[in-house]
Amino acid sequence: MPELPEVERGRLVLEAVTRGRRIEAVACADDRIVFDRQSPLAVKRALVGRLAVAACRRGKHLWLELDRPPFPCFHFGMTGSFQGYRDESERPRFWKIELTLDHGLRLAMTDARRFGRIRLARDPLAEEPIRSLGFDPHLDLPGPAEFLRLCRGRTVTAKGLLLDQSFAAGVGNWIADEILYQAGIDPRARVADLSDADLRSMRTRLKAIIDLAVREKSQSSRYPRSWLFHYRWGKPKGAVDARGEAISFATVAGRTTAWVPARQPIGSRRGRKAGKG
């Protein structure tokens, strides 16, 4: 499933093709699942003739700001993406919407598995589902003191907290595992049992991993070879990390989770617990 870095890469594609251009034509697939609460025809009528002003993102949600509302909002689901091209003959498989701009380029959102969504919003940041999102780790990560405050009193697991989109918008399964691996925190540990040092380390790794993945435009081959990312896929038997330490797999917070027990012991290990003392 696309996570924040992949969605930010999509935003860059959306921006490159559309910003400052007028939408001359819109084609919509007749897919009432992907088109959320508005018919494909209503979306088409709302967009034709509008000027694209900016491509915006919060967490895993995207929207195209136009010269006047409503604005089209996009969520990639599990397999969504944007593709830019010039000719209708290049229209990709599984396309759901295609915008033709006044410079002759086209942009399509594809979604093979139909878990993505396209909808209209007059004020995306003030409307659901974007309104209920937490901070965006790339755009407005809280400072250390505020981050600790947001974590205190939580009874969920460390993995569950990171996957909670009302806490940190855009963090998904592999990023959550990578954060905890690099921070040395067991994904099953309860947040309330973690020390302030644990939580500060979690914040530091959250920022570093997201920023690097965004900077590399989500090209995973350019991620450091020390990352757990490169060794976790498919739950291979006898899997080890870059240091040769065994990787364990289990379901945590409803998701398949990879961690290295030798590096991520259960419990708080770095001084006083959060909120104590």
Q: Do 249 and 257 contact (CB within 8 A), yes or no?
A: yes
Residues with Cβ < 8 Å from 179, sequence gap 6 or more? Answer: 162, 171, 202, 205, 206, 209
- 151: enclosing H helix or E strand: helix 144-151
Catalytic residue of the set 60, 96, 159, 273: 60
Is 2 among the residues known to form the active site? Answer: yes
Q: How far apart are CA 51 and CA 269, in angstroms?
A: 54
What CA–CA distances, in Å, run from 183 to 25, 199, 221, 270? 49, 9, 22, 11
| Beta-carbon contacts of residue 206 (< 8 Å; ≥ 6 apart) | 137, 141, 162, 168, 171, 179
Distance (Å, rounded) from C-alpha 273 to C-alpha 135? 23
Q: Is 60 a catalytic residue?
A: yes
Q: How far is CA 185 from the centre of its chain?
A: 22
Q: Which residues carry out catalysis?
A: 2-3, 60
